[in-house]
Amino acid sequence: MAQIEIKDIRKVYRVDTEKIVALNRINLSIEQGEICCIFGTSGSGKSTLLNILAGLEKPSHGSVLIDGHDICKMSEKKLALFRQKNVGFVFQSYNLMSTLTALENVALPLQFRGMDKKKRNKYAMEMLKSVGLKERMKHTPNQMSGGQQQRVGIARAFVARPKIVFADEPTGNLDSKTTKEVMEIMIHLARKHHETLIIVSHDRDIAKYADRIIYIIDGNIKSDEPNESVLKN
């Protein structure tokens, strides 16, 4: 069985009396260590799918099995614990804690796990080094550029060695040069520890980095193919 099994996922939003079908019967399975890009136009349902995969949203129908556990049936409490153990998250708008330094931000997921300060700072330090921000560890988010902030965000997503890292438009706010840097770091980190990485994007250039591109149109999977260019290399 694959690491992630999505069966018959359907998501319908109700706004007043109107029904909006964001996802229409999605079936997917993703293996451990795969780097996938959920690709599609704006409003096609990419974020909705990602949020359901991460347990942030419940589908109207269907099930999401991660390592055999149906996360759609978990309580809020269990989900928090599940995310703490298995999931990392990279946001489009970074979402760093403005009062904390880069080091503290990276160490946050470890702090939530109850790791003591000395130990978690050591891990966070290593992470910051591997995203090339060793010199910035004492800086707060507003003292850093967008690209630097996103690198801190990536370090934070990977620091606890999650099984899966989700990234919703991670480069949406960055220029093309920085986008390249950030994508390369992310791919490198995922490969290094054989972690599953699921990226949401509407940008063809981003999709190029993935092993597998899942193309979504209007809540349906239009195509689901290995990325030729990556496979060629």
Ligand X SMILES: Nc1ncnc2c1ncn2[C@@H]1O[C@H](COP(=O)(O)OP(=O)(O)OP(=O)(O)O)[C@@H](O)[C@H]1O
Residues that bind another protein (CB under 8 A): 51, 54, 56-57, 76-77, 80-81, 83-85, 87, 89, 91, 93, 95, 97, 99-100, 108-109, 111-114, 116-117, 156, 160
Question: Mapped to the 3 state alphabet, what secondary structure does the chain carry?
Answer: CCCEEEEEEEEEEEECCEEEEEEEEEEEEECCCCEEEEEECCCCCHHHHHHHHCCCCCCCEEEEEECCEEHHHCCHHHHHHHHHHHEEEECCCCCCCCCCCHHHHHHHHHHHCCCCHHHHHHHHHHHHHHCCCHHHCCCCHHHCCHHHHHHHHHHHHHCCCCCEEEEECCCCCCCHHHHHHHHHHHHHHHHHCCCEEEEEECCHHHHCCCCEEEEEECCEEEEEEECHHHHHC
Q: Interface with ligand X by CB under 6 A: which residues? A: 13, 15, 20, 22, 40, 42-48, 202
44 binds Mg ion (CB under 5 A): no
Among 22, 28, 36, 47, binds Mg ion (CB under 5 A): 47
Q: Smallest gap, in angstroms, from Cβ of residue 221 to ligand X?
A: 13
Q: Smallest gap, in angstroms, from Cβ of residue 7 to another protein?
A: 22
Q: 117 or 129, CB closer to another protein?
A: 117
108 touches, from ligand X, Mg ion, another protein, none (C-beta below 5 to 8 Å by class): another protein
Q: Smallest gap, in angstroms, from Cβ of residue 150 to ligand X?
A: 17
Residues near Mg ion (CB under 5 A) are 47
